Amino acid sequence: MSELSEKPEEGYDCEGFPIPSAPLPDAATVRAEMLSVYPAKTKKKREKQLLTNDPGTPPEIAANTRTIPGIITQRGCTYAGCRGVVIGPIHDILHITHGPIGCSYYSWATRRNLARVKPGQPVNYLQYSMTTDMMEEEIIFGGEKKLAAAIREAYRIFKPKAIAVYATCPVGLIGDDIHSVCRKAKEELGINIFGFSCEGYKGVSQSAGHHIANNGVFKHMVGLLDEPDKAKFRINVLGEYNIGGDAWEIDQLLQKCGIHVTATLSGDISYEQICKCHTSDLNVVMCHRSINYMAEMMETKFGIPWVKVNFIGAEQTAKSLRKIAKFFGDKQLIDRTEEVIAQEMAALRPVIEDVKSRLKGKTAAMFVGGSRAHHYQHLFKDVGMLTVAAGYEFAHRDDYEGRVVLPTIKIDADSRNIEEIEVEADPKRYNPRKTPEQIEALKAGGFSFKDYDGMMVEMKKHVLVIDDISHHEMEKLIETYKPDIIGSGIKDKFVIEKFGVPCKQLHSYDYGGPYAAFTGAANFYKEIDRMIGSKVWKMVTPPWKKSTQETFGVGIESEGNKAIREIVAGMAKAWKPKAKAATSDEG
Amino acid sequence: MLDGTTAEIVERKALRINAAKTCQPIGAMYAALGIHGCMPHSHGSQGCCSYHRSHLTRHFKEPVMATTSSFTEGASVFGGLANLTQALRNIFSIYNPEIVAVHTTCLSEVIGDDIPTMIRKAKEEGSIPEGKMVIHANTPSFVGSHVYGFSNMVMGMVNYLSEKTGNTLNQINVIPGFVEPADMREIKRLAKEMGVKIVMFPDTSNVLDGPLTGQYKMYPEGGATMAQIKSAGDSIATIALGHFASHVPAATLEQKCNVPASFLELPIGVQATDRFVSALRGYAGVDIPASVELERGRLIDLMSDLHQYFHGKRVAISGDPDHVIALTRFLLELEMKPVYCITGSPGNQFEKRMHELLDPVVPNAKIKQCGDNFELHQWMKNEPVDLLISNTYGKYIARVENVPFVRFGFPILDRAAHRFYPTLGYMGAVNLINQMLNAFLDKKDRECAEEWFELVQ
């Protein structure tokens, strides 16, 4: 906790992990218990995805493999990863889903793709849901005609700059060629129109959709506009989706330091920003899982290097800022960055101290996404909370074990389905941002490129790592570990809370946020403090079911009751003589 | 907001914008949750199941459990038999439900998976334990809408579970339609108040409105039991509420078990509730108790008290067909003017019935099946309304047009009280009146000139 105080703090062990206030159950025993109910085949598969951690040499995890039918998974589909996550946030192009009604309906404004309408771009198309609403007739006779007509109608009504088309399950099966429809429409209408073959059944999770989206965005948008922004230090933030305004928070912080963001892929982003993002000088990667493809392809084609950053957590944010400043190597920038960090930390420290006084020693578990289950551990750590179990919903081995395992990852049939596009250096625009000498010098100074070490090396030894957690495992985890809070998604939230354990949605932030950067971190600490400390959890058990029973309103001894009785006695006294007088008058 | 929407209406034949319906499987999943001890199962890509669970959870703020066959490309090519069999084996060994209700998706429909045969094979090879049940419904997403999916799953319940033993039971079946748990609870309360024994299926009360006790129950107390649905074949009669969600299952039960069906509309407002109550009374041979008459009287009293606020108000409604029909009837009782009424669901009965209701009183009303909220908004831009009633998606239109807005139907993603307050029955009408009045008067109090800002209304 170097940013937070000078010496190792009370409440943290020698490795810097928070010390839980109650002893933890034995992870291996819990693991065995979780696996024990499974039929043999299911057990064999799950035991490779359910591990006890060893940060020294992370064990191999069978991530990015098929979900077992019937197990109750958190995972969604390829369409969700493509339409919903990576491209969905581009707010000034039209998104048309080619398929029956459901897919477009469920992806309509449900991910919090917050966007501010910019001058000159008056329409935020994210408020619209568009689909070909395929009916039986199109399933039988093909839907290409309807798609072509839908694109034409959409153009006539909205006159957008570009239209993206997304294929759903039946489209692939009936063999509609969305790409040729898009090509023809592009020629006819003279705007950029492109399709994504992101049928839900491709791949084993949303992750396949991320890859397909990366490919499409790269092929059809990146590099179309060679107009660099007028700023000295230009970067792109990749894998940041502006949930709860996170991208705005990061952008603001970077601006303070003097760093300009050309494009955030993909949060509050315009078509133009994507088209010119290749003119930036550094790609910083937040969510490695969903966007590392783009970072790699941009480096190969345009020579833009990439580094992993994390703006979730105070210390991590400071570290990330320093890394960016160091890349540019400008003295003024480095000094300004240090000033900003000092200012922000000074404001944050009292919040951390206050919240930590209540949360120190408490425990958290997280099962979410492809980066958040890792990143958010830092926020919990900042306030003295240990993550006792974590796992991703759709990440790959490198997100758990680090990029060092990349060469050893076996490409299975499901991954082979996803196109790997061949990228070459652009003959004119390839421009390595650093000379080999500069790169060497940076490396010698401890700087590393393409650096993601994964989640496991930053987790405590013997905690549980669970990939694609099943509902059954979640229940067992709650029963055995009784974490003080769990970070998960909408499908788990109310299950967890029925147990009396608060659940923070880490996809939607429970409609709160921002949680990124320093101000966001303060929001998160306070939010977790509120959730864990909420009085509601103490009212779950009615008093008559508690061992020490309270009595309400019975017993004449209580002071309150005595006082009321005295008042009533006084009133009766005052009233009686008058009553008598009235009676005697009548008599 | 919605700045791409203009008053100029361009004819669309292919593009759906801002839909007023969703797909069949979510309706089937919701219906299946109304069987006690049931695990709904989605036979298709896992994204369908994930989307449906998420959306139902956002609406109910409650756990929504369901499993999926998790199709990948292989299953999509070779068929989903292996996936379904494996799923059933896992579901019964890990989660031990009494019954699994399988519904299809566009994917499994397109490849033509034959679910009954698959269930039979799974049974033969021992993936379904003795005494456990697996039922199914075909719910292709490219036909009908979520309301049809609900109806199809209820039909599945009848087909698989209901039986006639010949021993007529003194009970009446109620098929409630795609309504809230609060509405189902209200139907049960009314029947109990009248002393009528009913079998209601599905019944999601006490399933999707559960308490927080510190104990999680995967299969909550509520839901129609398999025994109850079985016994529906021996009931005196079936009262089916809503043409689109309930009439076909009721007719199926009539055909299968010879239980006479009464086809009613959703009991929203005075006369529709009168009909429902009268139907219960007629079949059960009971008198309407004073307590129910009192409820009705209170509603009439409220309607007379507040008549001035509703009379002549122009209303736009978007929703499910059964809901829009029944709500229109109620608004006409209040002498409001439903001028634009759309449903996203297909089905000619909607337009036919709406014209019957509206032609005599609001002859120029625009009525449309297979409509969408984009077009509804355009109509509103051409000639405004005083009130918009729709599910949550209407909030964008309400904001940009600054029109009072009442959330009604499915889904409601941004408010919570629909879990507790019914819109069916006399008390449901009171709730609707309250919400509409608040919407009108809140706007007036917020916006009127100071000299017209008054304490008493």
Report cis status (omega within 30 of 0) of the bond before A436: no
Query: Quick one: B313 and B446 in the same domain?
Result: yes
Q: Which of B5, B45, B400, B410 to mutate to test the interface with A (most CBs of A within 10 A)?
A: B45
Number of residues that make up chain A? 587
Cα separation of A570 and B99, whole Å?
A: 68
What residues contact B266, with CB distance under 8 A and at least 6 apart? B177, B179, B241, B242, B272, B322, B323, B325, B326, B424
Q: Is A33 on the interface with B (CB under 8 A)?
A: no
Domain boundaries, chain A: 27-71+360-401+459-507, 76-224, 226-347+403-451, 542-587
Section A534-546 average pLDDT: 92
Pairing of strands A282-285, A306-308: parallel
Closest residue, chain A, to B215 (C-alpha): A499
Domain boundary among B142, B161, B180: B161
Cα separation of B165 and B227, whole Å?
A: 13
Inter-chain CB proximity A76 and B50 less than 8 Å: yes
- The CATH number of the domain where B34 resides is what? 3.40.50.1980
Fold match, A76-224 / A226-347+403-451: yes
pLDDT at residue A130, as a whole number: 98
Q: Which of A46, A94, A133, A541 to mutate to test the interface with B (most CBs of B within 10 A)?
A: A133
Q: Is A110 on the interface with B (CB under 8 A)?
A: yes
Three-state DSSP at B43 gives strand
pLDDT at residue A85, as a whole number: 86
- Decide if pLDDT at B453 tops 60: yes
Torsion angle in degrees (nearest 10) through CA of A67, A68, A74, A77:
40
Host domain of residue B380: 295-452
Cα separation of B4 and B397, whole Å?
A: 12
Section B349-356 average pLDDT: 98
Q: Is A482 on the interface with B (CB under 8 A)?
A: no
Nearest to B19 among A66, A105, A139 (CB): A105
Inter-chain CB proximity B3 and A74 less than 8 Å: no
Query: Quick one: B300 and B448 in the same domain?
Result: yes
Query: Quick one: B214 and B238 in the same domain?
Result: yes
Inter-chain CB proximity A69 and B19 less than 8 Å: no
Query: Quick one: B101 and B141 in the same domain?
Result: yes
| Strand partners for A265 | A238
Nearest to A156 among B10, B63, B142 (CB): B10
Query: Predicted confidence band at B218 (pLDDT cuts at 50, 70, 90)?
Result: very high
| Strand partners for B134 | B100
Query: Quick one: B436 and B364 in the same domain?
Result: yes
Cα separation of A499 and B212, whole Å?
A: 8
Cα separation of B273 and B299, whole Å?
A: 11
Chain A positions in Cβ-Cβ contact with residue B95 (cut-off 8 Å)? 72, 471-472
For chain A, what percentages of helix, strand and coil (3-state, to nearest 5) are there?
50, 10, 40
Three-state DSSP at A544 gives helix
Chain A positions in Cβ-Cβ contact with residue B393 (cut-off 8 Å)? 108
Query: Predicted confidence band at A137 (pLDDT cuts at 50, 70, 90)?
Result: very high
- Decide if pLDDT at B207 tops 60: yes
Query: Quick one: B230 and B281 in the same domain?
Result: yes
pLDDT at residue B381, as a whole number: 98
- Please indicate, yes or no, if residue B264 is contained in any of the structural domains: yes
Query: Quick one: B326 and B271 in the same domain?
Result: no
CA distances from A327 to A231, A235, A441, B304 (A): 16, 11, 11, 74
Section B357-373 average pLDDT: 98
- Please indicate, yes or no, if residue B134 is contained in any of the structural domains: yes
pLDDT at residue A550, as a whole number: 60
Tell me which CATH code domain A27-71+360-401+459-507 carries.
3.40.50.1980
Query: Quick one: B325 and B205 in the same domain?
Result: no
- Please indicate, yes or no, if residue B10 is contained in any of the structural domains: no
Nearest to B18 among A39, A99, A129 (CB): A129
pLDDT at residue A414, as a whole number: 87
Q: Does the ipTM surpass 0.90?
A: yes
Number of residues that make up chain B? 457
Read off the pLDDT of residues B381-421 as tens digits, 9 standing for 90 and up.
999 999 999 999 999 999 999 999 999 999 999 999 899 99
- Active site residue ranges of A: 77, 80, 111, 210
Report cis status (omega within 30 of 0) of the bond before A160: no
- Catalytic annotation present for B110: yes
Angle at A100 between CA A98 and CA A103, to 5 degrees: 75
Section A215-222 average pLDDT: 97
Section A55-71 average pLDDT: 97
Chain B positions in Cβ-Cβ contact with residue A68 (cut-off 8 Å)? 70, 86, 90
Section B343-360 average pLDDT: 98
Domain boundary among B230, B258, B287: B287
Read off the pLDDT of residues B339-349 as tens digits, 9 standing for 90 and up.
999 999 999 99
Section A36-44 average pLDDT: 98
Overall number of domains in chain B: 3
Catalytic residue among B48, B106, B174, B403: B106
Nearest to B86 among A69, A73, A493 (CB): A69
Inter-chain CB proximity A131 and B87 less than 8 Å: no
Nearest to A491 among B41, B57, B88 (CB): B57
Read off the pLDDT of residues A289-335 as tens digits, 9 standing for 90 and up.
999 999 999 999 999 999 999 999 999 999 999 999 999 999 999 99
Query: Predicted confidence band at A275 (pLDDT cuts at 50, 70, 90)?
Result: very high
Q: Domain spanning A226-347+403-451: which superfamily?
A: Nitrogenase molybdenum iron protein domain (3.40.50.1980)
Nearest to A131 among B19, B111, B396 (CB): B19
Cα separation of B83 and A482, whole Å?
A: 34
Q: Which of A35, A65, A71 to mutate to test the interface with B (most CBs of B within 10 A)?
A: A71
Is A169:B44 a contact under the CB 8 Å cutoff?
A: yes
Query: Predicted confidence band at A587 (pLDDT cuts at 50, 70, 90)?
Result: very low
Query: Quick one: B35 and B133 in the same domain?
Result: yes
pLDDT at residue A121, as a whole number: 76
pLDDT at residue A86, as a whole number: 87
pLDDT at residue A1, as a whole number: 43
pLDDT at residue A122, as a whole number: 77
Inter-chain CB proximity B87 and A123 less than 8 Å: no
Catalytic residue among B110, B143, B370, B400: B110
Q: What's the topology of domain A76-224?
A: Rossmann fold (3.40.50)
pLDDT at residue B120, as a whole number: 97
Nearest to A75 among B50, B141, B210 (CB): B50
Q: What integer best gives the mean pLDDT of chain A?
A: 94
Domain boundary among B130, B161, B192: B161
Inter-chain CB proximity A76 and B47 less than 8 Å: yes
Query: Predicted confidence band at A549 (pLDDT cuts at 50, 70, 90)?
Result: low
- Please indicate, yes or no, if residue B34 is contained in any of the structural domains: yes
Section B115-142 average pLDDT: 97
Inter-chain CB proximity A150 and B14 less than 8 Å: yes
The phi, psi pair for A506, rounded to 5°, reads: -100, 5
Query: Quick one: B177 and B142 in the same domain?
Result: no
Inter-chain CB proximity B106 and A130 less than 8 Å: no
- Please indicate, yes or no, if residue B227 is contained in any of the structural domains: yes
Section A545-556 average pLDDT: 65
Inter-chain CB proximity A153 and B53 less than 8 Å: no
Is A96:A163 a contact under the CB 8 Å cutoff?
A: yes
- Please indicate, yes or no, if residue B101 is contained in any of the structural domains: yes
Q: Is A102 on the interface with B (CB under 8 A)?
A: yes
Is A24:A431 a contact under the CB 8 Å cutoff?
A: no
Percent of chain B with pLDDT over 70: 100
Query: Quick one: B66 and B199 in the same domain?
Result: no
Q: Is A490 on the interface with B (CB under 8 A)?
A: yes
- Please indicate, yes or no, if residue B7 is contained in any of the structural domains: no
Inter-chain CB proximity B61 and A494 less than 8 Å: yes
Chain B nearest C-alpha distance from A572 (Å): 39
Q: Which of B94, B372, B377, B392 to mutate to test the interface with A (most CBs of A within 10 A)?
A: B94
- Please indicate, yes or no, if residue B280 is contained in any of the structural domains: yes
Query: Quick one: B100 and B157 in the same domain?
Result: yes
pLDDT at residue A553, as a whole number: 54
Chain B positions in Cβ-Cβ contact with residue A110 (cut-off 8 Å)? 54-55, 58
- Decide if pLDDT at B154 tops 60: yes
Read off the pLDDT of residues B48-96 as tens digits, 9 standing for 90 and up.
999 999 999 999 999 999 999 999 998 988 999 999 999 999 999 999 9
Tokens 């003959």 identify what position? A427
